[in-house]
């Protein structure tokens, strides 16, 4: 797959939120206002790119030579958790401003299944190092797009008379479902025809 | 405090005008009627049951929700309009439970979970249509040939766009435009079409291929209310004149779509070149007039500002072009509209006009 193909795939066609339904907890939890949604989106993009490249290294230079690929899930979880904590410490030391901007989001992302998801998907697709990295960034931007749109809709819904049983989380899930319905417009045939 | 609810004081501009939600919804429904009558005329009386099933189920759903919410919203006509639009997007031979499910989905899920008319961010009729499209794709893509083309009743066929989409997959011929492709592969056209085309050719010296007249009048297979471009445009004249529909969305939609089709539409054919796409064909088929004039302009789910509406229209044109020319669905109008509905709150936010007297904060440091 070409690099542009990977980007289109992970931003639109296999959007992590709206097609694969991965990483729904920050999608629902942090989409109440636009600023925090954008912050979360960029934090996830950053971590996904980092996780993609580091898990690729671990997988190809440790797991495969030792013939222990079956340990990939647990290894990836450990690597991602350790990496995020490490990055948090580094950012706190080097750039307090960025640390403050990312705030609580960075440690939260450790447990985001989208991050583990991109690592496993990279392995499944046999991506090389550059492809994994691009897939990580593209998947992060797909997440950013979804959470940004979600937050603008939820801000609008704040001023609407939403029936009491649906207020808050339920209407957010219904909104997400309708967005997923619209995103069914993007499918693999579209990608194949576009890139011929 | 005395009861002064009769003296509502509003801020300026204090202009009295007669349009209300109610009148707008009923007027739009009325303007849609000719196209529906045309659908009954060419596809047969069964179409009436499809229209009735969608409208009645939409109204029943609205009545139930209005009862639960203790608000009587039946008379505002929005449920009738939603039901009407859903039925206009159905193939004539659709089993009746499909429009019923679409209406229920539209009213219950897309509209009332958000608090009824005005709260929804997505066009209920189109979301309902897309929902049933993905649920029963087989039924939703089984089209009936109009009587004028087949001579006998109920021949199943493909729409011109659907025919084009599947036909182009393994096409090795020489046609470089949709209509020449259809003519080459023997797609039928009516005697009326040949008559009018010949008349134009003989009397006015205007030569165009057979088929365009059929597409314009609505003598083609398609959704039961979308086929007659002519009658949909007739109905819209009144809406434009009364300014119930503003020009910005339909014009920016059709213009951006047309330009993109003109540039790239021809490249899908073997030996096709840039700047040779058949704009007229694509505007006359696939329900884009119904979408651009009656559905994209829905007041609840389109942007508030003029600039926002133009951005919305251009986005619609681009997405329709993308889905229709490159995607796996032949039409693409309904998906494009619900996709752009998602962007409307963001468009509203970034095209908010500056209030008079507010200055941009200068950096005082």
Query: Residue A42: which pLDDT band, with cuts at 50, 70 and 90?
Result: confident
The helix/strand/coil state of B311 is: helix
Q: Cis link prior to A22 (omega < 30° from 0)?
A: no
Q: What share of chain B has pLDDT > 90, as a percent?
A: 50
The H-or-E segment that residue A4 falls in is helix A3-8
Which pLDDT does position B1 carry in this prediction? 45
Q: pLDDT, tens digit, for every residue of B62-92?
A: 999 999 988 888 888 899 999 999 999 999 9
Q: What share of chain A has pLDDT > 90, as a percent?
A: 54
| Structural domain includes residue B150 | no
B127 and B205 assigned to the same domain: no
What are the residues whose beta carbons fall under 8 Å from the beta carbon of B261, sequence distance 6 or more?
A: B277, B278, B279, B282, B321, B325
Pairwise CA distance, residues B188 & B211, whole Å: 8
Q: How far is B188 from chain A (nearest CA, A)?
A: 28
B63 and B201 assigned to the same domain: no
**Chain A residues near residue B127 by CB distance under 8 angstroms:** 178, 181
| Structural domain includes residue B36 | yes
Cα distance from N-terminal residue to C-terminal residue, chain A: 12
B48 and B180 assigned to the same domain: no
pLDDT at B18 over 80: no
Which pLDDT does position B10 carry in this prediction? 61
B300 and B178 assigned to the same domain: yes
Pairwise CA distance, residues A180 & B130, whole Å: 11
**Chain B residues near residue A156 by CB distance under 8 angstroms:** 121, 345, 348
pLDDT at B11 over 70: no
B135 and B168 assigned to the same domain: no
Give me the mean pLDDT over the A50-68 stretch: 93
Model confidence, pTM:
0.90
Asked whether the beta carbons of residue B346 and residue A184 sit closer than 8 angstroms, the reply is no
- Minimal Cβ distance to A189: which of B328, B335, B338: B328
**Strand B156-157 to strand B143-144: parallel, antiparallel, or no bridges (unpaired)?**
antiparallel
Residues 163-182 of A with CB under 8 A from B: 163, 166, 170-171, 174-175, 178-179, 181-182
pLDDT at B31 over 70: yes
Which pLDDT does position B274 carry in this prediction? 85
B46 and B135 assigned to the same domain: yes
What are the residues whose beta carbons fall under 8 Å from the beta carbon of B116, sequence distance 6 or more?
A: A161, B65, B66, B69, B71, B73
Lowest-confidence pick of A177-186, A187-196, B52-61:
A187-196
Give me the mean pLDDT over the A141-160 stretch: 93
Query: What's the domain count of chain B?
Result: 2
Which pLDDT does position B23 carry in this prediction? 85
DSSP string, A45-100: HHHHHHHHHHHHHHIIIIIHHHT-GGGHHHHHHHHHHHHHHHHHHHHHHH-HHHHH
Chain A interface disruption, residue of B326, B341, B349, most A CBs within 10 A: B326
Q: How far is B331 from chain A (nearest CA, A)?
A: 11
- What is the extent of the structural domain holding B277? 159-222+244-349
Query: Residue B149: which pLDDT band, with cuts at 50, 70 and 90?
Result: low
C-alpha distances (whole Å) from A114 to each of A5, A22, B66, B113, B224 are 20, 5, 40, 28, 43
Chain A interface disruption, residue of B113, B120, B335, B349, most A CBs within 10 A: B113
B107 and B190 assigned to the same domain: no
B261 and B130 assigned to the same domain: no
B99 and B135 assigned to the same domain: yes
pLDDT at B154 over 60: no
Asked whether the beta carbons of residue A175 and residue B328 sit closer than 8 angstroms, the reply is no
pLDDT at B7 over 80: no
- Minimal Cβ distance to B115: which of A148, A163, A183: A163
Give me the mean pLDDT over the B159-164 stretch: 82
B198 and B279 assigned to the same domain: yes
């Amino acid at each position: 797959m070409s690099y542009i193909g990977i980007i289109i795939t992970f931003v639109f066609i296999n959007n992590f939120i709206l097609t694969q339904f991965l990483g729904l907890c920050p999608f629902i939890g942090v989409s109440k206002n636009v600023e925090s949604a954008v912050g979360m989106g960029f934090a996830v993009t950053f971590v996904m790119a980092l996780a993609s490249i580091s898990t690729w290294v671990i997988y190809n230079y440790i797991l495969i030579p030792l013939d222990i690929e079956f340990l990939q899930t647990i290894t990836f979880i450990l690597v991602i958790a350790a990496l995020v904590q490490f990055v948090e410490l580094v950012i706190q030391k080097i750039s307090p401003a960025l640390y403050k901007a990312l705030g609580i989001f960075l440690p939260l992302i450790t447990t985001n299944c989208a991050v583990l998801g991109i690592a496993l998907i990279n392995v499944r697709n046999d991506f090389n190092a550059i492809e994994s990295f691009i897939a990580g960034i593209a998947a992060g931007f797909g997440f950013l797009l979804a959470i940004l749109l979600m937050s603008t809709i939820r801000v609008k819904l704040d001023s609407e008379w939403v029936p009491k049983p649906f207020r808050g989380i339920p209407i957010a899930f219904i909104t997400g479902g309708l967005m997923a319905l619209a995103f069914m417009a993007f499918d693999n045939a579209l990608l194949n025809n576009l890139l011929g | 405090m005395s009861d002064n609810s009769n003296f509502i004081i509003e801020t300026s501009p204090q202009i009295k005008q007669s349009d209300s939600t109610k009148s707008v919804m009923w007027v739009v429904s009325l303007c849609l009627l000719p196209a529906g009558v045309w659908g009954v005329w060419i596809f047969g009386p069964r179409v009436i049951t499809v229209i009735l099933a969608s409208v009645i189920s939409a109204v029943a759903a609205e009545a139930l929700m209005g009862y639960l919410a203790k608000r009587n919203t039946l008379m505002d006509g929005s449920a009738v309009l939603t039901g009407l639009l859903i039925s206009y997007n159905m193939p004539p031979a659709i089993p009746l439970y499909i429009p019923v499910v679409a209406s229920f989905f539209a009213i219950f899920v897309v509209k009332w979970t958000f608090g009824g008319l005005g709260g929804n961010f997505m066009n209920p009729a189109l979301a309902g249509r897309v929902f049933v499209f993905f649920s029963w794709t087989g039924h939703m893509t089984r089209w009936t040939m109009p009587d004028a083309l087949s001579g006998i009743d109920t021949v199943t066929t493909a729409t011109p766009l659907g025919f084009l989409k599947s036909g182009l997959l393994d096409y090795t011929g020489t046609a470089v435009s949709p209509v020449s492709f259809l003519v080459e592969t023997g797609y039928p056209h009516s005697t009326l079409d040949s008559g009018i085309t010949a008349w134009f050719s003989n009397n006015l010296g205007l030569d165009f291929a057979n088929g365009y007249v059929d597409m314009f009048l609505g003598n083609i297979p398609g959704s039961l209310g979308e086929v007659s471009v002519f009658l949909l445009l007739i109905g819209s004249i009144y809406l434009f004149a009364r300014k119930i529909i503003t020009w910005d969305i339909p014009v920016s939609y059709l213009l951006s779509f047309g330009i993109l089709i003109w540039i790239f539409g021809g490249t899908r054919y073997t030996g096709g070149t840039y700047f040779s796409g058949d704009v007229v064909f694509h505007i006359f088929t696939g329900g884009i007039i119904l979408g651009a004039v009656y559905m994209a302009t829905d007041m609840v789910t389109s942007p508030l500002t003029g600039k926002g509406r133009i951005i919305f229209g251009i986005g619609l044109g681009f997405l329709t072009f993308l889905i229709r020319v490159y995607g796996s669905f032949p039409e693409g109008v309904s998906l494009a509209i619900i996709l752009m509905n998602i962007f409307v709150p963001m468009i509203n936010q970034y095209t908010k006009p500056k209030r008079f007297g507010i200055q941009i904060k200068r950096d005082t440091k």
